[in-house]
Structure 1
Amino acid sequence: MENIETAPFWETKTLEELTQSEWEALCDGCGLCCLHRIQDEDDDAIYLTRVACHCYDIAAHACSDYANRHERVEGCMKLTLERVEEFDWLPESCAYRLRHQGRAIPSWHPLITKDPATVHPHGMHALNPILEKDEIDLEDYIID
């Protein structure tokens, strides 16, 4: 019998067809969604900062309490299928955005390389983040 290799789930399934574990696997672990954003009151533009949520583990490049993040962090946004169109602030390389648009995920994505560190050489991670503090002005940490 021939060994027929099937295409990976992210190439064959729509976002609506993904299981919960497949949905979670689309995340490349860049951590950019863990960075604080501020919105300009005048033109509604959204600016990304270098300030990470207090649950972000800088060394691990991941949430330190992913399972409970929504209870622990006020305003932590859960990316769901129903809300995927609202997350236009995610990077252009975000697999959720790309798959929603019917586009392929990048060749450096951990689903393809089997290595979570492959996001780093491509600059797709929270660069030099600092953890949020009570006395911090987010405007001082806007990323250009």
Structure 2
Amino acid sequence: MKDPINRDGLRPEFWERVPLKNLAPKEWEALCDGCGKCCLNKLEDADTGEVVFTRIACRLLDDETCRCAHYEVRKTIVPECVVLKPGNIAKVAYWMPSTCAYRLIYEGKPLYDWHPLISGDPDSVHRAGVSVRGWTVPEFDVPVEDWEDYVIEEDL
């Protein structure tokens, strides 16, 4: 028997029952909580592999919505953008934010209560204070050699 589809085109609690590789495209996209953290520029230590986040946002991040302003063509505009897919999550999960739904599901952990799939409200991520809304710096405003000055100390 096939899973029922709700009015949003999503199977109920799909994130708890369906492996990432078997998600429908709409379900994959719905996992994104809209925090914008993955669009922060990161620094990786070549010796240790440690990854730290900076307050410096990708040039395409809309600081108000915490979404990519040119999502469908982002890879064309920013060639180094990593397009997250079920096939590459294992390679990139280590640099995803610890609160990221894709990383959580990949690691077998539950979503947070503020995630829009749980709360039913797309703004719950902002109200919970876990989005980057209002505190990023555009990447073209800071020379790359100064990015270390913008490292975020707390765990994202």
Same fold (TM over 0.5): yes
Identity %: 40
What do the CA deviations read for 1:106-142 (whole angstroms, capped 9, x no partner)? 1111112221211123332126101111652211111
Residues 56-71 of structure 1: pairs in structure 2 closer than 5 A: 56-71=61-76
- Structure 1: gaps spanning 5 or more residues: none
Paired residue type of 1:105: L
Match of 1:140?
149
Paired residue type of 2:129: G
- Say whether the 8 Å CA contact 2:57–2:136 is kept in structure 1: yes
- Structure 2: gaps spanning 5 or more residues: 1-5
Residues 119-130 of structure 1: pairs in structure 2 closer than 5 A: 119-126=125-132, 128-130=135-137
Normalised by the length of structure 2, the TM-score is 0.81
Paired residue type of 1:99: I
Partner SS state of residue 54, structure 2: strand
Partner SS state of residue 77, structure 1: coil
TM-align CA RMSD: 2.1
Following TM superposition, the consecutive aligned residue runs of length 4 or more in structure 1 with deviations greater than 3 angstroms are: none
Name the stretch that deviates more: 47-56 or 6-15.
Answer: 6-15
Match of 2:123?
117
What do the CA deviations read for 1:79-124 (whole angstroms, capped 9, x no partner)? 1111112221212221111212222211111112221211123332
1:11/1:69 CA distance change after superposition, 3 Å: same
- Of 99, 102, 110, which residue of structure 2 is paired with 1:96? 102
Aligned residues: 141
- Say whether the 8 Å CA contact 2:20–2:86 is kept in structure 1: yes
Match of 1:21?
26
Paired residue type of 2:115: H
- Say whether the 8 Å CA contact 2:21–2:87 is kept in structure 1: no
Match of 2:41?
36
Paired residue type of 1:115: D
Match of 1:107?
113
Normalised by the length of structure 1, the TM-score is 0.87
